[in-house]
């Protein structure tokens, strides 16, 4: 059964009185109002959060967090089509995408089962709009961007947003640039962030990762620190297929995210078809995060959370030599030997998932030079 | 004497019949027309070039290459100012900028000697417009972005543009995001690319590098592979000062760029006050590139060149382990020992400055995964 995007927890802000506080909350990403003296929630922290989100907010032209509308392109397809074997076209898009700074790219077919049953209009929430048809756009290119680990280490704090938003902003600017490339080859393409269709099933189909307990896509290289977008297009491409890298079994043996979630929104049992409320997807056997509990926590702290990303053992900073060595020498071998308990003990003792104080983050020597 | 931007070689396309071919050339960066079957100049190559330039082209809203107008902001300053010691404000901007993906940031005072004497209107070239006053914006933040080396290795080719344009696009999107951060702190800020003022003197003042024989800024880390922008602002900041790292003496002993320039546009002698034509800056003792010869070559190959960047020994790919090792073990020690001739012989024998064939670049294994 297709999901009604009006039931998305963010969208309920606009019609469900239980979440009416959410309207000001979501708008604060374009212009914040409320700050505190508490470190991580000062004017400086919110200014940084919004700077991270800025390109995503502005280029989606008012669509909150890119959640309602396809992202308008700046360019048009060239009249002349670049004709080449499907393998060359696929390879050219992958090369162009990587050069434009996109970290992972996968290809699959457009599957309307992943699409919302409606289109939500935040300015007129009772309006019933059909979802976009995307006629002829039978292929879907899934793109994903990973951002730095360190801002996320301060979560909960407004600093985290420079990371989360920074990922969406890059998905927007570099996604639009990749759309421009496809237009340059003479084909149609349109960028989609969290509007129109669910990103995770598309990313799984395109071989970008596996679904994790925290309800996020876990990528083999970047773990859960990953923002996803998609491009619907009519350019011929070869299709990738789903890839497993042991996430399901790992998550079955790890409860870091659920035990560290202050909202108790993440299940600690096995995957099931049970849902918590109308904001969850029906009929899929999976770990299902209680979106109401999660969003209430966001509204309380007045910014996005991300503790379930910070505490996920798949989250490592591959820009740092010693993180890479740890992954290679300890994390991956123990994971493959299924020594989950030993591995999780080591993680705890090293303090990998510990929060970094926002004040300490701002004073970090890394950025001084 | 301040430079009249109407004499900028790009702008002469709009009023000097000798360069009237330049109008279509510059517009082709928003939408290309002419492609060839020759590798490096096919539709695929131009599509990639324009994808790299896209954010710079579109967000500067019609200003060619960001050369005429300040880049409009999406945000406005917050009413409330974030008050803190000047050191904290400077450090916060540096941290925010680095987190937003800007590679180098320096601070200096606004100096109108570096500003153009006029503002050029490409739609009405005979119109005499005064330059923007920037009242109260007494500080200048210089930001710079480095991009990958490999596209540039194919120069001359349209592929190079994904690198050159990609740098300007990131200067634009991440520069606008940094403007958003400063607005969030309650101060005024406006982004400037190649409009309004010369970037290189500002970058030198802000300690971002030294001037090289090829007329470019040579940064200590990224060499000449570097795109620069500036933010004029009223936020209080501490000022950096110029830093030397031996470029002048190196360039005095190296003629790689001038001997490899097919247009013979780069001088092979010592710095002088001599200029070639009205598109050069007067009264500064420096190496002066013949902008007419350079631009004529661009018009002939129908895309930007960059051979003087490709062949500059300061250009190394610091993302690659063996490049970093080479710089550490051979390049830097020999440079510091002033063994320029030995160093340049090694460079040649390794083939560091050799062109990579565009077809080979597209087929490179690096992007396949």
Structure tokens at B120: 């050029």
CA distance B51 to A22: 36
Work out the minimum CA distance from A178 to partner chain B, whole angstroms.
Answer: 6
Structure tokens of B222? Answer: 């990224």
ipTM for this prediction: 0.96
How far is the C-alpha of B73 from the C-alpha of B60, rounded, in Å? Answer: 10
pLDDT at residue A318, as a whole number? 83
B181 vs A47: CB contact, 8 Å cut-off? yes
Q: Do B184 and A52 touch (CB under 8 A)?
A: no
SS3 assignment, position B285: coil
Tokens of residue A174, six digits: 């570099």
User: Are B55 and A176 inside 8 Å of each other by CB?
Assistant: yes
Long-range contacts, A271-278 (Cβ 8 Å, 24+): A278/A7
What tokens appear for A353 in the block?
A: 């998932």
CA distances from A348 to A134, A321, B205 (A): 47, 20, 47
Average pLDDT of every residue of chain B = 95
Q: Is the pLDDT of residue B20 over 80?
A: yes
Whether A367 and B91 lie within 8 Å, measured CB to CB: yes
B186 touches chain A (CB under 8 A): yes
* pLDDT number for residue A62: 65
The 10s digit of each residue's pLDDT in A345-356 is: 999 999 998 999
Which tens digit of pLDDT belongs to each residue from B304-354? 999 999 999 999 988 888 899 999 999 999 999 999 999 999 999 999 989
- CB–CB contact B362 A91 (8 Å): yes
- Alpha-carbon distance of A162 to B100, in angstroms, equals 8
Q: How far apart (Å, rounded) are the C-alpha atoms in residues B238 and B300?
A: 45
Q: Residue holding tokens 């990738």?
A: A240
Q: Do A75 and B31 touch (CB under 8 A)?
A: yes
Q: Which residues of A10-30 are buried (b: 16+ CB within 10 A; e: fewer)?
A: bbbbbebeebeebeebbebbb
pLDDT in tens, A248-294: 999 999 999 999 999 999 999 999 999 999 999 999 999 999 999 99
How far is the first Cα of chain A from the last one, in angstroms, to the nearest whole number? Answer: 53
Residue A361 reports pLDDT greater than 80: yes
Q: Which of A74, A75, A367 has the CB atom closest to B98's CB atom? A: A367
Q: What share of chain A is helix, strand, coil (3-state, %, to 5)?
A: 40, 10, 50
Chain center to CA of A271: 21
Could you give the count of Cα atoms lying within 13 Å of B365 in the half-sphere of its Cβ? 0
Q: Report the alpha-carbon distance of residue B228 to residue B104 in Å, rounded.
A: 9
Candidates A58, A92, A99: best to mutate against B (most CBs of B within 10 A) is: A99
Question: Phi/psi zone of residue B4: left (φ > 0), alpha (ψ -120 to 50 degrees), beta?
Answer: beta
- Pairwise CA distance, residues B242 & A90, whole Å: 47
Rounded to an integer, the average pLDDT of B279-296 is: 97
Residue B353 is encoded by which pair of tokens?
């400055």
Yes or no: say if A294 and A196 are a contact pair by the CB < 8 Å rule.
no
Would you say B214 and B223 are in contact if contact means Cβ atoms under 8 Å apart?
A: no
Spatial distance between the Cα atoms of A106 and A125, rounded to a whole number of angstroms: 34
Indicate the DSSP class of residue A367: G
Q: Please tell me the distance from the alpha carbon of residue B327 to that of residue B99, in angstroms, as a whole number.
A: 26
Average model confidence (pLDDT) across chain A: 95
Report the half-sphere exposure of B278 (CA within 13 A, side-chain side).
10
CA distance B283 to A4: 67
- Which is it for strands B189-192 and B139-145: parallel, antiparallel or unpaired? unpaired
pTM of the full predicted structure?
A: 0.97
- Answer whether B185 sits within 8 Å of A43, measured CB to CB: yes
- Contact (CB<8Å) A184/B46: yes
Residue of chain B minimizing CA distance to A37: B82
Closest of A363, A214, A206 to residue B95, by C-alpha? A363
DSSP state of A19: G
CA-nearest residue to B28 within chain A is A184
CB contact A358 to B (< 8 Å): no
Considering only CB atoms, which chain A residues are within 8 Å of B168?
none
Residue B94 has pLDDT above 80, yes or no: yes
């Amino acid at each position: 059964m297709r999901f009604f995007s009006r039931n998305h927890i963010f969208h309920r802000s606009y019609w469900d009185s239980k979440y009416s506080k959410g309207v000001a909350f979501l708008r604060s990403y374009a212009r914040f109002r409320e700050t505190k003296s508490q470190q991580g929630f000062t004017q400086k922290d919110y200014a940084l959060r919004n700077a991270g989100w800025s390109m995503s907010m502005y280029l989606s032209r008012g669509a909150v967090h890119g959640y309602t509308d396809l992202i308008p392109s700046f360019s048009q397809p060239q009249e002349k089509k670049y004709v080449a074997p499907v393998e060359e076209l696929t390879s050219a898009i992958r090369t162009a995408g990587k050069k434009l700074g996109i970290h992972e790219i996968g290809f699959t077919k457009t599957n309307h089962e992943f699409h919302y049953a409606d289109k939500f209009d935040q300015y007129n929430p009772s309006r019933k709009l059909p979802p976009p048809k995307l006629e002829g756009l039978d292929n879907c290119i899934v793109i994903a961007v990973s951002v730095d680990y360190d801002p996320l280490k301060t979560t909960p704090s407004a600093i985290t947003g420079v990371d989360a938003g920074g990922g969406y902003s890059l998905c927007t600017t570099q996604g639009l640039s990749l759309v421009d490339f496809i237009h340059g080859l003479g084909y149609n393409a349109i960028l989609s962030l969290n509007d129109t269709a669910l990103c995770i099933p598309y990313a799984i189909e395109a071989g970008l990762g596996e679904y994790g307990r925290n309800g996020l896509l876990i990528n083999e290289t970047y773990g859960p620190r990953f923002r996803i977008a998609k491009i619907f297009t009519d350019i011929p491409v070869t299709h990738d297929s789903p890839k497993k890298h042991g996430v399901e079994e790992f998550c079955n043996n790890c409860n870091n995210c659920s035990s560290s979630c202050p909202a108790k929104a993440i299940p600690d049992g096995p995957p099931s078809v049970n849902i918590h409320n109308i904001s969850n997807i029906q009929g899929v056997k999976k770990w299902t995060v209680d979106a109401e509990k999660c969003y209430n926590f966001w509204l309380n702290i007045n910014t996005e959370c991300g503790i379930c990303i910070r505490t996920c053992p798949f989250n490592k900073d591959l820009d740092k030599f010693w993180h890479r060595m740890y992954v290679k020498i300890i994390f991956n071998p123990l994971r493959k030997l299924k020594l989950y308990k030993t591995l999780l003990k080591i993680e705890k003792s090293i303090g990998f998932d510990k929060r970094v104080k926002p004040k300490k983050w701002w004073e970090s020597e890394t950025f001084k030079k």
